[in-house]
Structure 1
Amino acid sequence: MTIPDDLPLAPLLDADRSALFLDFDGTLVELAPEPDAIVIPDTLVPLLAALRTRLGGALAVVSGRAVGAIDTFLHPLDLPVAGVHGSERRAADGSLVLLPAPSLDAVERAAADLLRRHPALALEPKRGALALHYRQAPQLEALCGEVMQAAVAASPGVSLLHGKMVFEAKSALADKGMAIGAFLGEPPFAGRTPVFLGDDTTDEPGFAAAQQHGGTGIKVGPGTTQARHRIAHPAAVRAALQAWVEGPAPR
């Protein structure tokens, strides 16, 4: 599959009518061997600040990472953020909405036991979620899936996500589509048409929600998707967003 390195956003984004939702890892920044090893391009924070201004504030990050982690990477910006797939969400007015956190005791025990036997794995605890990364041990994908699925099956209110080299147990009440829908009920997003960019299977609910609300999804990179558009990689995403924000101002 040939995926374009450029995607003109002028037909998809309108400064006065669109709401822009952006995944983080694999969409705005390149994936890294470890979650904390990502590199934040020098241009990213100024780009996001300019996008927020041009969109009248209707810009949000929708990520599997916690809200606090996004703040650390994007300091000094304090954008609206849906973290942990929507389990926590900071609205544009700064208020924080936290969904009930299910018990992850069974998942934590199973994942910790797996980590003791296979130190190349990595655990990423979050509020109401636990991610098991196997990027350094791809041969353990099937084993990680079996262990996490069994633990999640014994944990009421918990669902399992399988993303890029990661299995994540999280609240069954949260997904990125629900988070986007919640933003669209609040200013400055209300009444606007959503555009969502994401790269992973975990972003599919976000694509679905954006398109159900009359907007569009943009898939970053390869893979089966319901998104209506594609772009090759995070550098191409940043370039497309930069070109749009520097383009002609709306009349």
Structure 2
Amino acid sequence: MSAGHHDALDLLGGADCALFLDFDGTLVDIAALPSQVVVTPELLATLAALQLRLGGRLAVVSGRPIAELDTLLAPLVLPAAGVHGMERRGADGVVRRLPQPDFSRVRAEAQALATRHPGLWVEEKHGALALHCRQAPALYPLCSAAMGAAIADRPDLALMAGKMIVEVKATGTGKGTAIRDFLSEAPFRGHRPLFIGDDTTDEAGFEYVQRIDGIGLKVGPGPSMARCRIASAAELRAVLARSAATPTSDKDMT
């Protein structure tokens, strides 16, 4: 980890932590297709142990829909925010979804691009529409420009540029707002947040937690406002496994 990593480790190891984790590129390595990511039994065991150790204060905050996260993390059913906060399931198990905007024009533009260019594909989610170019990375600038033009007169929509994905979502929602909402509820309320992510779509989460005296931890290279950094998802999984296996001290519990 980079400078400041001891702060993240100290928070993760203590009893005051509320842990928020991105999924792709953070908990799991990015794959050629989102359906090809690998979730090992060891990772599932780590997450289960951390959730218990933290008194339930662990949530996954992802661009994926909650239903996809549940399938990939089964049999675990964790508190989760999906589609960058458009849907969120708290510790009470209730899924709350924000109203979905009209994506008609964006959908038509994205589908036209995907038809003209093999390797592009469109994914629709509740409250977001994504154009993937992992199999045609040279087309990323074209995808970004086209999607940006499609929402130029739509202040209710925002463009998010990620790793080989260009996504349009509702304005005013993001990983920062999702974390904020978790922190207003039990068991997260009153605890210091640690948010770990790897992509530009995670920057809103880093900004929010650091603004309220939490810690942002960036996975991998690239510019980021996160004050701490770790080299890779594999290194993060090792750190999380060690933390899960470390008993909480009596001092930490006070």
TM-score by length of 1: 0.95
Asked whether the equivalents of residues 193 and 214 of structure 2 are also in contact (C-alpha less than 8 Å), the reply is: yes
Q: CA deviation at 1:173?
A: 2.4
Give the drift of 1:119.
1.8
Give the CA deviation at 1:156: 4.6
Match of 1:164 in 2: 163
Determine if contact 1:61/1:82 at 8 Å carries over to the other structure.
Answer: yes
Aligned to 1:215: 214
Q: What does residue 33 of structure 2 align with?
A: 34
Give the structure 2 partner of residue 18 of structure 1: 17
1:105 corresponds to: 104
Separation in 2, partners of 1:182, 1:25? 22
Alpha-carbon shift at residue 42 of structure 1 (Å): 2.1
CA distance in 2, matches of 1:33, 1:230: 24
For residues 51-70 of structure 1, the C-alpha deviation after alignment (integer angstroms, 9 at most, x for no partner) is 00000000000000001010
Q: What residue in structure 2 maps to residue 94 of structure 1?
A: 93
Structure 2 match to 1:63: 62
Q: How does 1:117-196 map to 2 (within 5 A)?
A: 117-196=116-195
**SS state of the match for residue 77, structure 2?**
coil
Name the CA distance, whole Å, in 1 between partners of 2:247 and 2:138.
49
Structure-1 separation of matches of 2:39 and 2:97: 27
Q: Identity of paired residues, percent?
A: 50
Q: What SS does the corresponding residue of 1:78 show, helix, strand or coil?
A: coil
Extract unaligned runs of 5+ from structure 1: none
SS of the equivalent of 1:79 reads coil
Where does residue 114 of structure 1 map in the other structure?
113
- Coordinate RMSD, CA, aligned: 1.7
Letter in 1 for 2:191: R
SS in 1 for 2:203: helix
Separation in structure 2 between the aligned mates of residue 42 and residue 9 of structure 1, nearest angstrom: 25
Give the aligned residue type for 1:174: T
Q: Displaced runs of 4+ in structure 1, greater than 3 A? A: 6-10
Match in the other structure for 1:243: 242
1:216-236 per-position Cα deviation (integer Å, ceiling 9, x unaligned) = 000000111111110011111
In 1, are the aligned partners of 2:13 and 2:243 still within 8 Å (CA)? no
8 Å contact kept, 2:17–2:54: yes
CA shift for structure 1 position 7: 6.9
Shift of 1:154: 3.8
Residue by residue, what CA displacement relative to the aligned partner does 1:24-80 show, whole Å, maximum 9, x if unpaired? Answer: 000000001111111112211111110000000000000000010100000111100
Unpaired segments of 5 or more residues in structure 2? none
| CA displacement at 1:120 relative to structure 2 | 0.9
Answer whether contact 1:7 1:231 (CA < 8 A) is retained: no
2: distance between equivalents of 1:188 and 1:60? Answer: 11
